[in-house]
Amino acid sequence: MLLRVLLFRVFMVVMAFCSATLAVAESGVQVDGAYVREPIPGRYMSAAFMTLNNTSDEDKVLVRAEAEWAGLIEIHTHLHDNGVMRMRQVMELPLPAGEKVSLQPGGLHLMLFKLSLPLADQLPLTLCFSDGSCETITAELRSLR
């Protein structure tokens, strides 16, 4: 009986891995290192960061992101304006074929508004592209400390 339980668990892990690989193959975009910063106490906004690797032979364009735990998600960038860094929303994020685009602090990122607190340690996040494909990934919640 113990052996059956163990084999079932191994099977489920393998199936989960295969499903994740299939999702990457369908969208052509591999997502690595996705995380969400834990919100500042008393605030209902934060940011998500990750690396998007367009493994396909075609350019892709990220047009939106959505999550049940966030009321609104916008794609943002930072611009230097007369020595002052300002955040600005961008309506889409080009992902050239065969290239990586990093969403990182001080640069491109997903701005998360109207958060449902407290946030879980693992956060499902759906990324949607201009070709109509969407990919749901899991972002890790990271503490500010």
Q: Which residues of the chain have pLDDT under 70?
A: 1-26, 145
- Residue 13: its pLDDT value, please? 46
Cα–Cα distances in angstroms (integers) from residue 107 to residues 4, 54, 76, 89, 90, in the given order:
49, 19, 8, 12, 12
- Residue 143: its pLDDT value, please? 92
Using one digit for the tens of pLDDT, what is the confidence trace for 110-134? 999 999 999 999 999 999 999 999 9
pTM above 0.75, yes or no: yes
For residue 95, which of 108, 111, 86 has the smallest C-alpha distance? 108
